[in-house]
Amino acid sequence: MNGIILNNSIFENIKHIDENDNEYWLARELQNVLEYKEWRKFNNVISDAIIACKSSGYEVEDHFSQVVKMVDIGLKTSRNITDYKLSRYACYLITQNGDARKKAIALAQTYFAVQTRKMEITEKEYSSLTEDEKRFIKEILLKK
């Protein structure tokens, strides 16, 4: 139980929300949490997750959005590095393709599986609402 509480806070702390209220995680932040020391090795896991995404019939760009950002490397020098904006599904696939011997991977697998299931239930319940009920919920959410 303690692992799950720790797990939730770790992944919630690195979660971002974009301008359209979509949640996402940055791959380089996730890399650290999942205890991958080298980007090269973590990028291999991402590549396997992208293959799984494609094979499942999903649009890769909807879940693995490549971004380039400038980072300082010292002495007034900077360079571009590649990163990814990852959907919850992308994170789930990454954890499924990660090194299962790592405790951080096991915790991440649990977190993303549970969160994905919660969203599935929420979406199913939402789709069963009448149009008036959906409109009411949207109005409430827009007021937040």
Provide the 10 A C-beta neighbour count for residue 79.
8
Residue with tokens 């490549």: 66
* Alpha-carbon distance values, 39 to 29, 42, 74, 103, 143 (Å): 11, 5, 19, 19, 41
Which of 41-45, 55-59, 121-125 has the weakest average pLDDT?
A: 121-125
The model's pTM is 0.75
Rounded distance between C-alpha atoms, residue 107 and residue 85, angstroms: 20
pLDDT over 70 at 75, yes or no:
yes
Which of 59-63, 98-102, 126-130 has the weakest average pLDDT?
A: 126-130
Each residue of 30-47: pLDDT tens digit?
999 999 999 999 999 999
